[in-house]
Chains A and B, each alone.
Chain A
Amino acid sequence: MSVESRVKRILVEILGINEADMGRDSKFVDDLGVESLDVVEMIAALEEEFDIEIPDEEAERNVTVGQAIDYIESKLREKQVS
């Protein structure tokens, strides 16, 4: 399964939204109605799924679904290199 599918599956599980309503440009807060507790759970779930660390300041920079997917892909590339 691609990174994009895995990220979207987690968002669907946590946020209880349809995958069809979620595009790469969807903003977590403005478009998907993500609340503060959802963010914490989402970060924890993504760290769990991909076995990566997401520092708070980096998490805050990812405001859209697409940015989150790109960010995780880059973290996974870094992980492979190291």
Chain B
Amino acid sequence: MLVVIFEDEAALNFEPLALTRGAFDLKLGPLSFAERTKRYMKAERVDFLARDYIADHIRAKRKVKANAPDAIDDETLFINGLLIFDQELQELTRRIKPGTGVFKADRLVMAKFGESPAKEAARLLIGAPGHQSIKSLESMMLDRKEYEGDALVTNCWEIIEKNAHQILKDVAIMPKRSQGKVSAKAMVVGNRRNLQVGKGSEVGPHVVLDVTEGPIYIGERTRVHASSWIRGPVHIGSGTVIHPGSVIREGSNIGDVCKVGGEIEETIVHAYSNKQHTGFLGHAYVGEWVNLGALTTNSDLKNDYSTVDVYVRGKFVDSGTQKLGSFIGDHTKTSVGCLLNTGAVIGVMSNVISSGEPSPKFIPSFCWYFRGRFSKGWGLRRMIETAREVMRRRDVTLTGEDATLYQRLYDMTEEEREKLIKRSRAKRREKAD
């Protein structure tokens, strides 16, 4: 049976993190949605259905089939890319018959079709379809089942809420790590079996590893420097550096080849991002190739303890949660001393320069925020040049496909960016008058 992971319209709720990747490639716990599904399904081949530009990009970068309905050559299981897959769901996939759709309200959780109708279904699932396309797909089904669980994610803050618990679950299905070195002068609090340190990794002296509330899982070739304090559940990827004296609190999930210092809590950091210095990041989600300047700090709780509003698809939405930090798109940089507002959403390749005040709650992609002013900064060409240099320093090449992706995103986000820049100019003119 072929497994095809698809995006539905909810993928758009995850921008700017989902601007540069399929929603199924977002991390929740150490694994992305797609990686987890693939592991549970034990699938050798997984195809994808996504927004067109994302499909073009992942096809070029990963040599997988994306938005290729004609490549379907078997009975096919379609799985929503924002489904937190587990054993129970895997069993559900076996129980449903071809022609069956499983729904959570009007969202499709999964569907199974024979080869021929599967091609037709795949066509309807291209481009992060909304309710109407899903309705059309439903008309092809012989049976509809309701999904009662809560594993289908709709909004970005749910990822933060579920991350700590998911670290616990994912660690159980990940390879066991035991060959790393832990200094005799480090202290493990709790059951040592809850600590896994991968080959080539080193934990320095006077590091406290508290596994009483959850595991600490460290990948390969990672260095945790002296006097850091880590409290599980925590996942730290491979090739990452945790600087001396860091405080990595529960629910932190740090990717591969990152450099981290200061204090982090309940935060997800994708690969190749740096938060090297003192400063606090809590209940936040950081994309790839992000660099947060020294002392960059995000608020994750408002002083009146009210729930946090988040910018989603052009408007502010009440997240219903009190604790929420920043969402930061790929390749974004902050200057030293940046204060990021509660629930701030910062786009792809943006540049936030400290003005001493908390940042705006929304900074569009490819935008500079500087001394209270939104501007286009150096423009796309130089932003890409910077990204190329940043990647080169980690022996990664920015490819033509990457540049095409950023150009497309630049065009896609232009209207929103220009609107804000113009509004910012008008406000300043009014003030000056």
Contacts and interface: CB of A to CB of B under 8 A. Distances in A.
A40 B382 contact: no
A37 B376 contact: no
Contact of B429 (A36, A43, A48, A56): A48
A44 B425 CA distance: 8
A53 to B, nearest CB: 9
Contacts of B376: 56
Q: Is the interface of B mostly helix, strand, loop or mixed?
A: mixed
B200 interface: no
A25 interface: no
Contacts of A44: 370, 373, 375, 425
A41 B368 CA distance: 10
B408 interface: no
**Interface size range of chain A in the complex:** 10 to 19
Interface in A32-50: 36-37, 40-41, 43-45, 47-49
Give chain B's interface residue range (CB within 8 Å of chain A): 10 to 19
A34 B371 CA distance: 16
A47 B377 CA distance: 12
B379 interface: yes
B381 to A, nearest CB: 7
A41 B371 CA distance: 8
Contact of A51 (B353, B379, B381, B425): B425
Nearest to B379: A56
Given A37-B353, A37-B370, A43-B375, A48 B381 contact: no
A36 B383 CA distance: 13
Interface in B318-358: 353
A56 B382 contact: yes
B425 A47 contact: yes
A47 B425 CA distance: 8
B316 interface: no
A46 to B, nearest CB: 10
A66 B115 CA distance: 69
Contacts of B368: 40
Contacts of A36: 378
A41 B373 contact: yes
Nearest to B429: A48
Interface of A: 36-37, 40-41, 43-45, 47-49, 51, 55-57
Given A37-B370, A48-B428, 12 more contacts: A40-B368, A43-B375, A44-B375, A47-B375, A47-B425, A48-B425, A49-B429, A51-B425, A51-B429, A56-B376, A56-B381, A57-B381
18 contacts: A37-B370, A40-B368, A40-B370, A40-B377, A41-B373, A43-B375, A44-B370, A44-B375, A45-B373, A47-B375, A47-B425, A48-B373, A49-B429, A51-B425, A56-B378, A56-B379, A56-B382, A57-B379
